[in-house]
Amino acid sequence: MKQIDIACIIDDDPIFVFGAKRMMELSDFCESFMIYKNGQEAIDNLKPIIISGENIPDVILLDINMPIMDGWQFLDEFIKIESSKEITIFIVSSSIDPADKERVKQYQNVSNYIVKPISIEKLKRISEGITEV
């Protein structure tokens, strides 16, 4: 598995965040994490990082159902930020609603839609650049 430098998790569920971090540690998925509880917190913190060009995450695992700013609102704001580095985004949600899976296709910078829970196999496929997880 190719190791990623920085992975960003944007999710309000502490159990998912704990499990995802644990899977990432067990699989040696990344060097470090950025964790945000909602889209607003993520935008507020990621925007200056991306603009500065330093410590930009390689991968973002984004939940869509969160308080304050949901994943869709985050994406709408995120695509306005110019980045010198390509950031791969995966929607990671418990939603199996076909409308959500269809809506993802509207965002060019979203690689795929992953239904929770996350697994070592799914992380392996993400790190290998496979968009069909």
Mean pLDDT per 10-residue section of the chain, whose length is 133 residues: 83 94 89 94 94 89 93 93 86 87 86 86 78 46
- Find out whether 83 and 105 touch, Cβ atoms under 8 Å: no
Tally the domains of the chain. 1
Domain contains 132: no
- Quote the pLDDT of residue 129: 67
- Could you tell me the CATH number of the domain that includes residue 41? 3.40.50.2300
> What amino acid occupies position 73?
Q
- Quote the pLDDT of residue 86: 85
92: CB partners within 8 A, 6+ apart: 11, 16, 20, 61, 62, 63, 114, 116, 118
Domain contains 43: yes
Domain contains 133: no
- Quote the pLDDT of residue 27: 87
